[in-house]
Amino acid sequence: MSIFTPTNQIRLTNVAVVRIKKGGKRFEIACYKNSVISWRAGAEKDLDEVLQTHSVFVNVSKGQVAKKDDLTKSFGTDDLTEICKEILTKGELQVSDKERHSQLETMFRDIASIVAEKCVNPETKRPYTVSLIERAMKDIHYSVKANKSTKQQALEVIRQLKESMEIQRAHMRLRLVLPAKEAKRLKEKLKPLLQVVESEDFDEQLEMVVLVDPGCFREIDELIRCETKGRGSLEVLNLKDVEEGEEKF
């Protein structure tokens, strides 16, 4: 005797479920464990490495697939891949309390590591240790957000820590070469983007060694390229202007 299995049921195992509520209805997708975090952090780009199936469910654990009409009404499309991407990005990852705690602890350490790697004490130019940054994050009661990438959160942490300690992004050291004709005009335009001008040499062209905030690098690069039509140049001398040794309290 054969057992009848309804056609709208799919059984899956070892699943991480991402859930979203939309149009008063609940929708879920079935993902591989640990892959959702990688996708959200931008480390995983292949959707097939994240999704166990491109189906959208009403209830993953019961294997109940969502009706096409409900999907169209709620998402404005019946394209399953696009719907899965939206749920993956905006939905809530369903994990046990133990798993969530472990995941948030790992993210907390990762954020502290990124901050320690990117920042220095502006007075001494020395980097902070990861454990010191972790302590500082606890002091400001920083709460990790599971649905935001660690890189985004590290930038947020740097902004918040500036209010309670001496910290800034380590400057990049660049060599800028500007054609004589545009040098004066371009130098004025660049001025607000430069933190420190270490040296200036004007012969047939203007050559400057400068320190800049890494967040301004792209703007400086584009400005020199567009304004000089490729005749100027920019060279990275140091990614981080840092003194040897670590900062201690």
Query: For the chain (length 249 residues), average pLDDT per consecutive 10?
Result: 47 79 92 84 87 92 91 92 93 81 91 93 89 96 88 93 91 90 89 90 90 89 88 85 57
> d(Cα 161, Cα 209) in Å, to the nearest integer?
29
Q: Which two tokens stand for residue 149?
A: 């990438």
8 Å CB contact between 138 and 112: no
Distance (Å, rounded) from C-alpha 197 to C-alpha 240? Answer: 15
Q: How far is CA 42 from the centre of its chain?
A: 7
Token pair for residue 35?
A: 């892959």
Tokens of 76: 């404005």
pLDDT number for residue 9: 57
Q: CA angle 133-107-91, nearest 5°?
A: 140
Identify the pLDDT of residue 51.
93
Contact 231, 179 (CB under 8 A): yes
For residue 8, the model assigns a pLDDT of 53
